[in-house]
């Protein structure tokens, strides 16, 4: 089969491509504009196109006739999304529409879409797939809109789909140079550059951090297993910790360091899901503890080049921007 992955230079995309190349005989085609990932993350056996989805990707569908499409491309900075609304909707809603149109037109067997825990909003944790989404930020709104559109395409055009809601996935090949997303990566960058690690509010927010290696085979099965057809599935760890606890574990892994507390930002207090459905449909196993995963990621992070940190040169909206992002 031909497998198309959008966002192939990011954490999920690059690591999924690695897994498919190493464990199957299928061909992998990848798309990424390299705005949030790095070309060296991409497996040499991937047929790679440096391209923005919003510039049009029909030619890639014509050339390769993909059987399965994993649409993983996104800029997942939910806290920043209220200040980059237009970019957020263009990068998520419009890009997904381009993918869906081509999946329908070229008879893709299944579209796998990675959504987000942010669709649940500030509901009561643990979040279950049956809960009614109520996002509290534009990123969650955009992702939920994509979910609805994909389901409509399934009803109207018979497009087979699986929607995955991953949560706080981390690991090797993650972008640790982005100021606004991936808190564990942000802390590693800060420590590598002799900075204090930063915590928003009181640090008692709860998250379930999920090691990428545990998610790869389940993510693959989302595309090929009959059980996953037209299902919405949470994917990730069953164990939640506070941000303070995660910070203490990482500082211990990094052999010390200090933290500072910043102003509270607009975010969900407790964001951790149920996981039974991922076990039943994708054979997910929560194998790696947070400490074990962070030890692996930290060892990798220390070997990375000293890249320039990504900072937005300007925001679409400055009013209400947090002092730590000014």
In which residue ranges of the chain is pLDDT below 50?
A: none
Looking at the chain, which residues constitute the CATH 3.40.50.720 domain(s)? 2-169+210-235
| pLDDT attached to residue 241 | 97
pTM of whole model > 0.85?
yes
Looking at the chain, which residues constitute the CATH 3.90.25.10 domain(s)? 170-207+239-272+288-313
Residue 263, C-beta contacts closer than 8 angstroms, at least 6 positions apart: 200, 201, 322, 323, 324
| pLDDT attached to residue 240 | 94
CATH architecture of the domain covering 170-207+239-272+288-313: Alpha-Beta Complex (3.90)
Cα(177)–Cα(186) distance, rounded to whole angstroms? 7
Model pLDDT for residues 10-52, shown as the tens digit of each residue? 999 999 999 999 999 999 999 999 999 999 999 999 999 999 9
| pLDDT attached to residue 9 | 98
CB 270 within 8 Å of CB 206: yes
Which CATH code, of 3.40.50.720, 3.50.50.60, 1.10.150.250, 3.90.1150.10, is assigned to 2-169+210-235? Answer: 3.40.50.720
DSSP 25-47: --EEEEEE-SSSS-GGGS-TTSE
| pLDDT attached to residue 17 | 98
CB 70 within 8 Å of CB 115: no
The Cα-based distances of 264 to 59, 224, 261, 268 in angstroms read 45, 42, 9, 11
């Amino acid at each position: 089969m031909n497998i198309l992955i959008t966002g192939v230079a990011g954490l999920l995309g690059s690591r999924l491509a690695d897994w498919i190349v190493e464990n199957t005989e299928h061909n992998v085609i990848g798309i990424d504009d390299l705005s949030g990932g790095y070309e060296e993350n991409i497996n040499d056996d991937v047929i790679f196109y440096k391209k923005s989805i919003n510039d049009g990707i029909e030619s890639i569908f014509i050339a390769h006739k993909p059987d399965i499409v994993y649409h993983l491309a996104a800029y997942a900075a939910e806290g920043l999304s209220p200040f980059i609304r237009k970019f957020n909707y263009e990068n998520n809603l419009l890009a997904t529409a381009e993918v869906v149109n081509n999946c329908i037109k070229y008879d893709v067997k299944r579209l796998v879409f990675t959504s987000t825990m942010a669709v649940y909003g500030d509901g009561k944790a643990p979040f279950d797939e049956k809960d009614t989404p109520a996002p509290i930020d534009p990123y969650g709104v955009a992702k939920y809109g994509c979910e609805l559109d994909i389901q409509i395409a399934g009803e109207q055009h018979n497009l087979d789909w699986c929607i995955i809601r991953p949560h706080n996935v981390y690991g090797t090949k993650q972008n640790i140079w982005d100021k606004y997303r991936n808190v564990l990566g942000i802390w590693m960058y800060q420590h590598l550059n002799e900075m204090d690690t930063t915590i928003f509010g009181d640090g008692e927010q709860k998250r379930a951090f999920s090691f990428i290696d545990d998610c790869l085979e389940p993510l693959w099965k989302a595309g090929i297993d009959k059980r996953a057809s037209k299902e919405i599935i949470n994917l990730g760890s069953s164990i939640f910790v506070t941000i303070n606890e995660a910070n203490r574990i990482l500082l211990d892994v990094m052999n010390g360091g200090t933290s500072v507390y910043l102003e509270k930002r607009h975010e969900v207090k407790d964001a951790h899901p149920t996981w039974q459905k991922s076990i039943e449909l994708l054979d997910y196993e929560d194998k790696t503890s947070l400490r074990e995963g962070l030890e692996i990621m930290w060892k990798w992070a220390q070997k990375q080049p000293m890249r320039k940190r990504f900072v937005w040169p300007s925001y679409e909206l400055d009013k209400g921007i947090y002092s730590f992002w000014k």
